[in-house]
Amino acid sequence: MRRYDPGHAADDAVATRNWTKLNPGKVVLYQEPSKILRRPFVLAWQTEWMISKLATLGHRSTVSMDPTFGTNKYGFQLFTVICFDSHQNGIPCLWILMERHEASDLVAVLREVKAKVNAYRSESMMRPDECHPSCFLVDDAKEENYALGEVFPNVPVNLCLWHVRRAWLKKLHSLVKDPFGKAEMNRDLGRIMYCNVEEDPWQQSADFMVRWKEESSFVQYYDRTWHQRIHRWAKGYRTYAHVNQDSQGSVERWHATLKQYLRGSRKEKSSRRVVWLITTLTDRLEPFYFCTSELKQQGQVRNRIVVKFILAAIKKAREIPDSHVIPCPPREGLRMALVSSQSRPLCLHEVYGWDRNTCSCACGFSVQGNTCKHQIKCLVMLGGMSEVDLLNRLGTKWGSNSGGVDSILTENGTESNVPCSLSQPVLGVEIPVTVSSDSEDDGDCSIIPTAEGTSSASRNIRPLAHFQREVDKLYAAVSQSSYLSGQAFEYLLTAVKQTLDLKASIEVH
């Protein structure tokens, strides 16, 4: 018997109603439209996996919410609620389709979601405490601010910094005529936004209004709209955990990708149906995020953001002189060292546990969960670890088009997609090798073990230019190979060194 597809109904409203009846466990709130009761259409849905992610990743972390248009032919808004995993990648946890952007409908949906998430935490996770996000991230919409304040009264609602800066620029262009004054005011506003708590953003905001009192139109707008809500957009007040999410770039990018997918799917008319949008989001995108999340937990997906931070930290650690690292006596069983700051010489950063290959630092960058240059410096200088070992221990190795790990740690090195996975088979121990090629123009090169007792130099007497080409090909093989283990990578690098030694011996003879 053929399975019934709700999308086969000619009427989109009937098909949507049939989908809600067939999937009652996924529906959070369904409100049919009524012209008599003046009731708009509202549909909110999420799967069991999305509830679990919102209950775990949304607790004590940032939750972002933003609407978008253009996903259906009726002009309904699609709200997407996103939480962030350990890779700082957004995961959709709730979808809401609304005919009108009304605060009362958002309040009803958020209350139902809160009840379902708290029930999941108490039943499945055995945790009696309620889900309490550290903050919400929205654009400056009155309906969203009111709804979040009603359902989560004790959770701060932060504003997207990009939307705030865009609103400032619009008013500056319309209210301020002096171009130099406009640039100065924009710079001062940026300083207020990104200053820390010690610099007192509130006082700086008050000083800004006093300094630019001649621009009365903009100052009145700023005082009325932004000064009284400075705790919602100044980064200095965001001292709680918010996974470094200060703008809605993740959800905006997700909406752009969704619209691109909808435009290229089936026919334009059918892809703009509401029921097709619902089934696409539920049956196709949710399994994709589920599989990707499981792969990340098993260590099968590289964290590009962490790799970028590690490479930057290694390069910056080279700029720290050895004299700026001061080893100290152990404290509570941990070896400690003090590293002098390069920008502030009187500031000393404490690094603990450098003798255990896993150390921690007290600087602000490391406190956020990143690997800083002070940790790298102590591990290399005091712990005896090499830079390649650090990349290997973190589970990622990258190569470049000009020579693998050795070149990406140079000033002119560039990153490329050459990961090395520890789960791949190891080629073995170091073997004397020689490089062979059928012709000078052939791009393929192979690494051939030499026989015992046979000198590779005596069997491969060729012009020096040929050996230079062989070395270049071997470097290309190292940098273009994918998923090499740590020993295999060292094996290929050893082959390069032996080829260079062979070239040097020929030059001598």
Per-residue DSSP letters for 55-93?
Answer: HHTTTTSEEEEEEE--SSTT--EEEEEEEE-TT--EEEE
Looking at residue 300, its pLDDT comes to 57
Backbone torsions φ then ψ of 289, nearest 5 degrees: -65, -35
371: pLDDT confidence band, cut at 50, 70 and 90?
confident
Query: What is the per-residue burial (b if ≥16 Cβ within 10 Å, else e) of 398-425?
Result: bbbbbbbbbbbbeeebeebebbbbeeee
Q: At what angle do helices 304-318 and 373-381 cross, to 10 degrees?
A: 60
Looking at residue 495, its pLDDT comes to 57
Looking at residue 468, its pLDDT comes to 53
What is the average per-residue pLDDT within 197-211?
92
CA-angle at 494, arms to 489 and 495, nearest 5°: 100
What H or E segment, with its residue span, contains residue 210? helix 201-211
Report residue 433 as tokens.
Answer: 């090798």
Residue 265 has pLDDT above 70, yes or no: no
Report residue 380 as tokens.
Answer: 């290399």
443: pLDDT confidence band, cut at 50, 70 and 90?
very low
Looking at residue 494, its pLDDT comes to 60
| Nearest Cα residue to 310 out of 243, 250, 380 | 380
Q: Is 138 helix (H, G, I), strand (E, B) or coil?
A: strand
What is the average per-residue pLDDT within 28-55?
91
116: pLDDT confidence band, cut at 50, 70 and 90?
very high
Looking at residue 23, its pLDDT comes to 92
Residue 391 has pLDDT above 70, yes or no: no
Span of 102-116, 147-161, 165-179, 363-377 with lowest mean pLDDT = 363-377
User: For the whole model, what pTM was predicted?
Assistant: 0.60
Looking at residue 410, its pLDDT comes to 35
What is the average per-residue pLDDT within 357-373?
77
Span of 142-156, 259-273, 369-383, 471-485 with lowest mean pLDDT = 471-485
What is the average per-residue pLDDT within 13-42?
90
